Amino acid sequence: MKYSILVDTYEKLEKTPSKLGKRDILSELFLKTPSKKLPRVVLLIMGRVFPSYSEHELGIANQMMMKTVSKATGFSSGDIEKKFKERGDLGLATEECVKSRKQKILFKKELTVDNVFENLHRLAFITGVGSQERKLNLITELLTSAKPKEARYIVRTILQELRIGVAEGIMRDAIGKAFLIKEGMTKEEKNEMIEAVEYAWNIMSDFGEIVKIAREKGIVGLGKVKIRLGKPIRVMLGEKAESIDEVIKNFGKIAVEYKYDGMRTQIHKKDDRIWVYTRRLENVTNQFPDLVDVCKKGLKSRECIVEGEVFGINPKTKLPLPFQLLSQRIRRKYDIGKMVKEIPVKLHLFDIVYLDGKPLFNKKFIDRRKILETKVKIIPNKLELAKQLVTDDIKKIQKFYKKALAARQEGLFLKVLDSKYVFGRRVGGWYKIKPIMETLDLVIVGGTWGIGSRVNWLSSYVLACRNPDTGKFLPCGMMGTGLTEEQFKLMTDILKGLILKEKGRRVVLKPKIVVEVAYQEIQKSSKYESGYALRFPRLIGIREDKGSNEADTVKRVSDLFKTQGKVQ
Would you say residue 452 has pLDDT above 70?
A: no
Residue among 373, 400, 378, 379 at smallest CA distance from 389: 400
Residue among 372, 240, 399, 241 at smallest CA distance from 307: 372
Question: pTM for the full model?
Answer: 0.77
What's the rounded mean pLDDT across residues 78-88?
84
- Give one word for 80, left, alpha or beta, with left for phi > 0 and alpha for psi -120 to 50: alpha
Whole-number average pLDDT of the chain: 90
Instruction: Look at residues 433, 455, 472 and tell me which one is the last residue of a structural domain.
Output: 433
Question: For residue 510, what is the domain's CATH number?
Answer: 2.40.50.140
Domain span at residue 464? 440-562
Task: Write the pLDDT tens digit of every residue in 191-205.
Answer: 999 999 999 999 999
Task: Supply the pLDDT for residue 466.
Answer: 94
**Which of the residue ranges 133-147, 242-256, 420-434 would you say has the lowest mean pLDDT?**
420-434
Is position 324 within any domain?
yes
For residues 313 and 452, state if they share a domain.
no
What's the rounded mean pLDDT across residues 330-338?
83
Would you say residue 566 has pLDDT above 50?
A: no
For residues 448 and 489, state if they share a domain.
yes
Query: From the DSSP assignment, how many helices (H) and strands (E) are in the chain?
Result: 20, 20
**C-alpha distance from residue 55 to each of 59, 60, 81, 138, 340 (Å):** 11, 15, 30, 21, 20
Would you say residue 264 has pLDDT above 80?
A: yes
For residues 475 and 387, state if they share a domain.
no
Q: Directed axis angle between helix 148-158 and helix 3-15, to 10°?
A: 80
Question: Is the distance from CB of 375 to CB of 299 less than 8 angstroms?
Answer: yes
Q: What confidence tier does 565 reach under pLDDT thresholds 50, 70, 90?
A: very low
**Which of the residue ranges 65-69, 322-326, 447-451 would you say has the lowest mean pLDDT?**
322-326
440 has which bridge partners? Answer: 517
Tell me the DSSP string of 48-107: -SS-TT--------HHHHHHHHHHHH---HHHHHHHHHHHS-HHHHHHHHHHT-SS--SS
For residues 411 and 266, state if they share a domain.
yes
Instruction: Look at residues 433, 453, 480 and tell me which one is the last residue of a structural domain.
Output: 433
For residues 499 and 399, state if they share a domain.
no
For residues 304 and 426, state if they share a domain.
yes
Is position 104 within any domain?
no
Is position 33 within any domain?
no
Would you say residue 567 has pLDDT above 60?
A: no
Task: Supply the pLDDT for residue 450.
Answer: 82
For residues 419 and 475, state if they share a domain.
no
Is position 289 within any domain?
yes
506 has which bridge partners? Answer: 448, 503
Burial class (CB in 10 A: 0-12, 13-18, 19+), 16: middle
Is 67 one of the annotated active-site residues of the chain?
Answer: no
For residues 376 and 255, state if they share a domain.
yes
Tell me the DSSP string of 176-191: HHHHT--TT--HHHHH
Per the structure, the count of domains in the chain is: 2
For residues 423 and 455, state if they share a domain.
no
For residues 429 and 504, state if they share a domain.
no
Is position 278 within any domain?
yes
For residues 458 and 417, state if they share a domain.
no
Q: How far apart are the first and last CA of the chain?
A: 57
Q: Check residues 86 and 175 and name the one with the higher pLDDT.
A: 175
Instruction: Look at residues 378, 408, 433 and tell me which one is the last residue of a structural domain.
Output: 433
Of 22, 177, 231, 259, which is the active-site residue? Answer: 259
**Which of the residue ranges 94-98, 292-296, 448-452, 530-534 would you say has the lowest mean pLDDT?**
448-452
Q: For the CA atoms of the chain, what is the radius of gyration?
A: 25
Task: Write the pLDDT tens digit of every residue in 126-166.
Answer: 988 888 899 999 999 999 999 999 999 999 999 988 889 89
For residues 450 and 367, state if they share a domain.
no
Task: Supply the pLDDT for residue 106.
Answer: 58
Is position 447 within any domain?
yes
Phi, psi of 445 (to 5 degrees): -115, -5
Which residues, including other chains, have CB under 8 Å from residue 334's CB and lie 6 or more apart? Answer: none
Would you say residue 527 has pLDDT above 50?
A: yes
Question: For residue 257, what is the domain's CATH number?
Answer: 3.30.470.30
Is position 74 within any domain?
no
C-beta atoms surrounding 128 within 10 Å: 6
Question: Is the distance from CB of 439 to CB of 250 less than 8 angstroms?
Answer: no
3-state helix/strand/coil string of 484-552: CHHHHHHHHHHHHHHEEEEECCEEEECCCCEEEEECCEEEECCCCCCCEEEECCEEEEECCCCCHHHCC
Question: Is the distance from CB of 541 to CB of 311 less than 8 angstroms?
Answer: no
